[in-house]
Amino acid sequence: MQTPSRKYEPLHIGDLTAQVPLIQGGMGVGVSLGGLAGAVAKEGGVGIISSAQIGYLDPDFEKDPKECNLRAIGVEYRKAREIAGEGNGIVGFNIMVALRYYEEYVREAARVGAELIISGAGLPTNLPKYVEGTDTKIAPIVSSEKSAQVILRYWEKNITARRTWW
């Protein structure tokens, strides 16, 4: 990749740094998997894996999509990290609140080492609880200032763990 002629400031998310301030969007059902996320992170950006039907290529997907998706979270994260190389960029997940097994997918992504979880398509009110005890950073996607205020007030009132979320 050619070095951009314009110098950009790095993006800092807590103790994480993306030298290239670019977040690749999570596009579902096989578009944003480990290959794309790893390539973005390798160049110093934030590579995002979509958890939406992430395990669709598994031969058992029709029988047990939940388990296939849970397995694929680890497979795709490891693939992205291998492509990116340790210390390059940030690799994370886009996990929609509207997904049927949202909590399990968030917990699995944090367990396998995701550096960041971006979450929208609903209010991710329990997101901090689901990543508690990990180094995973969280970023809600909101459609308005009011939504952001609601989420942050809820977290302040109901989430007892004191940690850096972002």
pLDDT tens column, 45-54:
999 999 999 9
Q: Is 111 exposed, middle or buried (0-12, 13-18, 19+ CB in 10 A)?
A: middle
| pLDDT value of position 57 | 94
pLDDT given at position 166 = 47
Report the alpha-carbon distance of residue 90 to residue 81 in Å, rounded.
9
Task: Tell if the pTM clears 0.75, that is, is over it.
Answer: yes
What value does the mean pLDDT take over residues 77-88?
Answer: 92
Average pLDDT over residues 16-28: 89
Q: What pLDDT does 1 receive?
A: 55
Distance between CA atoms of 22 and 35, rounded to whole angstroms? 17
In this prediction, residue 162 carries a pLDDT of 47
pLDDT-derived band at 160, boundaries 50, 70, 90: low
Query: How many percent of the chain have pLDDT more than 90?
Result: 69
- H or E stretch including 94? strand 90-94
